[in-house]
Structure 1
């Protein structure tokens, strides 16, 4: 009996000493980025040897866990395909990850307009559910958990896209995956890490906010609420940092409504957040985002905070490898902060990725953005970035187009369209100084490019 106990103790201790653990997102059903050297890591007994063998190459990779009990390596992935397996062995411990696909991986993040799903009674998603079974689309839905300290793992694993698993998944994320899969003909993985009502400070590492006086002052304007955290870095710690380094193609972002309380600092904050994410991953991935939609924020007439935040979002286009979609035409009700046309938002984001990341050819695929203006007599000539074709008006007259002289009093303007330029005037204004277009919280403007994308609201002044 004594000898048997000794043998059992040796066997048990051997298994314990060899046991390893993987982050929850290295799981069955996951997608890894194609044609890449993807990061792969976990934890094991310090100093123990770990052998990782992906079935697409059958070439074992041998590494040792560090003194901190962590091991990490890179797996060279092939062209899109699968299903594959990854076998991890350490001593007597063996784990096999199954049903792995190789394709394109995107991260979707932000607040409620990114998070909303079929459970929010979105008609587009409810109609989609019966047909939402896609073996080549995989979903990773990150739980809404905040933390004041940096975390190394999450509670969630990859699942195949089915009518059931997609029900509480981002509608925009799903429609993006569906379009990318149809166009690229490769498996698509989408990570949804979003939380309604949250500010960009929560998604930025806390030390960056705390060490910058301007960012910190603005962060203090975020107030506690029972439905969300309010501390800088609290969502970065638990909903981004744990999988930072999981190789992705890029990010789609829809957020900003919760930052109108500090609109004047959003460009700096947003650019800082993007840089912090890219630094954590170690490369400059594409970052495509949505300009916030028209909504009645009950701003004072002289302070249209929604319009001012949109202006800040335009400035972020100076950050390399970013792109912005405009949705001023997709809002049936400015009393609802959650526009319901998520499929078209996803289409516009997908088009940005297909053209700028994957090389699809197209002109005028971006909403025109104010570039410059020239005062010429009694007219102001407006030029736009991202506009090769002509402008067009959906209706009898451009809505919310205003002109002013030195009095700074804006009145409705007349206009002429000359190819890709807009000539703005009013016979009552002999010496015009400034033009505003759609520059209010609630403006749903009707000026488009030839592809039907709305011109982004703008002002030529800084009053």
Structure 2
């Protein structure tokens, strides 16, 4: 009997005093059809069979045998194999044979982290062109579905390898795809990406219980409490939606753009604010907002600007039934639409906003000052609520807080991978830990996670390449400090560990969007790091790295490891991003200039400097130190205050 991808458990009842259990042969998804297996390392393969059953594994003329343990798991180790393929490999227990086709041997990377790693190629810069050219089927991705568990799981959630093609590549991790494309061109071997990432996740959920220093029983109790509380909130939302029969899990987008649309079943809602805080917890989908704006003849004749704050996630905005603006998938993007005079009239004008929420928070939010009507002269009137509100087509989706709870993602999305052979790890996470109380702690957590994964993958020198947080206006900087900058420092502290490297991205972020679409540059910088750390090539792979500081009178002299490329300035302008402080710890903007491998810094009013900081903010747009290869310097500070 030849079975392809045999799944499940079959219980056979035989006419004996005992019951024999027969388990269909099965293997984890990372070994299935179209897989990429790691070259030049002992090939570890495992799966499940009938407990006590004898299993034979055959791969390219090599064979290995194993006996399934009491839990049905078997594991074999085949000799190292050079890059190549495609191959078919088989596992047999004498009664069944399972064959897996189109398997390549090359380099396999585990890509993990939060939303900027999960960010799909379809959303990246120039996505249409990139997807159309994604024709190299030797670049492959296995996307691990978002999953969680209170206990370490043996089995990975259902998934399958996808060779890159215009039909499949749009869902690949953009960062990982661009990385893989460069490694493929450099190494001329297949590159497989195991994409195990979850947007919005903190680092603690990716650790095991010992590393996260938590009690598994306490974690399970927390999950039970939060699930019960969540169920109550969802029930409350369901009751609130009963006034609009048919909108839940059905309905239509509705037609409430017209100025004369029926408003009898609209209800007041506070604007700006998320609807979750106003009785509609866990509601996603299409919702309409309406408000009325009175205009004088002069204001109507001159046209207006309509400020709508931020809208989570997408909107189409109408005035008097005419579409005047649209923004797609930009939950934290500030809307300001110009409305021409031919749409307006004296007296009552109707603003209708169709909001589409894809998950988490929903509605018109932001600062009160971002909601306004401005006439041609720039005179503003507030446009804050209450507005009118009506759901049109919605679903109740429980909030995904599991990606905030220690161990849950590790248990379901990492533990089942162990001990797969890898060439390296790509890590892009940290935004969710960039808070006052978490950012400094992250340095110890990150170091512990690297050590844990290396130990459990049985590769103590496994290369670990990570992305430092990009520039972004988070709004959390204060005179006392910058959580975003502190998190970057915590990330960079991992460079003290062997076989690590970071891609600095403070020059390619989007200050107004935590998900910048330039993932090409990020993938390229990770690939440069891999070419040095993983493949041993001599090349410029990092920007200027701070080494030491000396103080002479009112001057601070900083020395750098320039990465093998001379210090330079981005944009051919004055060197920026530096601040200087004396014993009073009060930092002042500083001037700076390059002297060979050093930079000299001084600041007016600081006569006896004791500390220098560079790029020490969430959005260091003036930090323009690079090397001649164009790679940016990592933000740093010389103090430990």
Q: Distance in 1 between matches of 2:97 and 2:487?
A: 52
Cα deviation for residue 164 of structure 1 reads 2.0
Q: What residue in structure 2 maps to residue 41 of structure 1? A: 46
Indicate conservation of the 8 Å contact 2:125/2:519, yes or no: no
Taking the aligned partners of 1:455 and 1:138, their CA distance within structure 2 comes to 32
- Per-residue CA distance 1:159-190 (angstroms, 9 max, x = gap): 21112222111001111111111111111111
Question: Residues 129 and 438 from structure 1, CA distance in 2 versus in 1: closer, same or farther, beyond 3 angstroms?
Answer: same
1:284-304, Cα deviation, whole Å (9 max, x unpaired): 200000110111222133221
**Is 1:255 paired with 2:429?**
yes
Which whole-Å CA distance do the structure 2 matches of 1:419 and 1:27 have between them? 54
Partner Cα distance (2:591, 2:23) in 1: 77
Q: Distance in 1 between matches of 2:153 and 2:102?
A: 27
Match for residue 149 of structure 1? 151
Secondary structure of residue in 1 paired with 2:62: coil
Query: Contact conserved, 1:27 with 1:158, CA < 8 A, in 2?
Result: yes
* Contact 1:117–1:125 (8 Å) recurs in 2: no
Over the aligned positions, Cα root-mean-square deviation in angstroms equals 2.4
The residue number in structure 2 matching 1:114 is 117
Indicate the SS of the match to 2:480: coil
Q: Which residue of 2 aligns with 1:387?
A: 563
Q: Do 2:28 and 2:155's aligned partners in 1 also have CA atoms closer than 8 Å?
A: yes
Are 2:514 and 1:330 aligned?
A: no
Residue 281 in 1 paired to residue 284 in 2? Answer: no
Partner of 2:442: 266
Equivalent pairs counted in the alignment come to 442
* Shift in CA distance, 135/118, structure 1 to aligned 2, threshold 3 Å: closer
Residue 210 of structure 1: CA displacement? 2.9
Question: Corresponding residue for 2:381?
Answer: none
Whole-Å separation in 1 of the counterparts to 2:555 and 2:186: 45
Residue matched to 2:595: 418
Q: Do the aligned partners of 1:389 and 1:419 also contact (CA within 8 Å) in 2?
A: no
Provide Cα deviations, 1:238-297, integer angstroms capped at 9, x if missing partner. 111111211110101111000012111000011111111111101120000011011122
Give the equivalent residue in structure 1 for 2:190: 187
Given the alignment, which residue of 193, 206, 227 partners 2:400? 227
Aligned-partner Cα distance in 2 for 1:201–1:313: 15
Q: 2:200 aligns with which of 190, 193, 197?
A: 197
Distance in 2, Cα, partners of 1:249 & 1:26: 16
Match of 2:468?
291
Question: Which of residues 165, 173, 177 in structure 2 aligns to 1:174?
Answer: 177
Whether contact under 8 Å (1:118, 1:171) holds in the other structure is: yes
Residue 453 of structure 1 is aligned with which of 631, 635, 641?
A: 631
Map 1:90-169; keep pairs closer than 5 Å. 90-119=93-122, 121-154=123-156, 155-169=158-172
1:140 CA drift (Å): 0.4
Shift of 1:9: 7.1
**What SS class does the counterpart of residue 583 from structure 2 fall into?**
coil
d(CA) in 2 for partners of 1:49, 1:195: 38
1:207 partner SS? helix
2:67 pairs, out of 64, 74, 97, with: 64
- Alpha-carbon separation, structure 1, partners of 2:606 and 2:94: 83
Specify which of 21, 39, 42 is matched with residue 26 of structure 2: 21
Q: Distance in 1 between matches of 2:111 and 2:68?
A: 32
Q: 2:419 aligns with which of 230, 240, 245?
A: 245
Indicate if the aligned counterparts of 1:369 and 1:456 stay in contact, CA closer than 8 A: yes
CA distance in 2, matches of 1:160, 1:409: 55
SS of aligned partner of 1:274: helix
Native 8 Å contact 2:64 2:77 kept in 1: no
Cα separation, 1, equivalents of 2:564 and 2:598 = 10
| Contact 2:31 2:37 (C-alpha < 8 Å) held by counterparts | no
Find the residue that maps to 1:72 and give its secondary structure: strand
Does the 8 A contact of 2:14 with 2:20 survive in 1?
A: no
> Deviations along 1:310-334, whole A, 9 cap, x unmatched?
1111211112211111111102x31
Deviations 1:181-236, CA, capped at 9 Å, x for gaps: 11111111111111111000010112322359xxx9xx99xx99713412101110
User: Is 1:378–1:430's contact at 8 Å kept on the other side of the alignment?
Assistant: yes
**3-state SS of 1:263 partner:** coil
What SS class does the counterpart of residue 151 from structure 1 fall into? coil
Q: Tell me the distance in 1 between the aligned counterparts of 2:607 and 2:161.
A: 63
Paired residue for 2:579?
A: 402
Match of 1:360 among 537, 549, 565: 537
Farther off after superposition, 443-452 or 426-435: 426-435
CA radius of gyration, larger in:
2
Alignment partners' CA distance in 2, 1:407 and 1:149: 51
Mapped to 2, the partners of 1:402 and 1:354 lie a distance apart of 34
Q: Is the 8 A contact 1:437 1:458 kept in 2?
A: yes
CA distance in 1, matches of 2:168, 2:411: 25
How high is the TM-score relative to the length of structure 2? 0.66
Q: Name the CA distance, whole Å, in 1 between partners of 2:203 and 2:67.
A: 38
* Contact 2:148–2:411 under 8 Å retained in 1: yes
SS of the residue 1:453 aligns to: coil
Give yes or no for contact 1:18–1:92 (8 Å, CA) kept in 2. Answer: no
How has the CA–CA distance of structure 1 residues 373 and 196 changed in structure 2, closer, same or farther, with 3 Å as cutoff?
A: same
Q: Deviations over 1:416-454 (max 9, x none)?
A: 311111111236433222211111111121110121111
TM-score (norm 1): 0.90
* Matched residue, 2:617: 440
Bigger strand share: 2
Task: Tell me the CA shift for residue 157 of structure 1.
Answer: 1.7
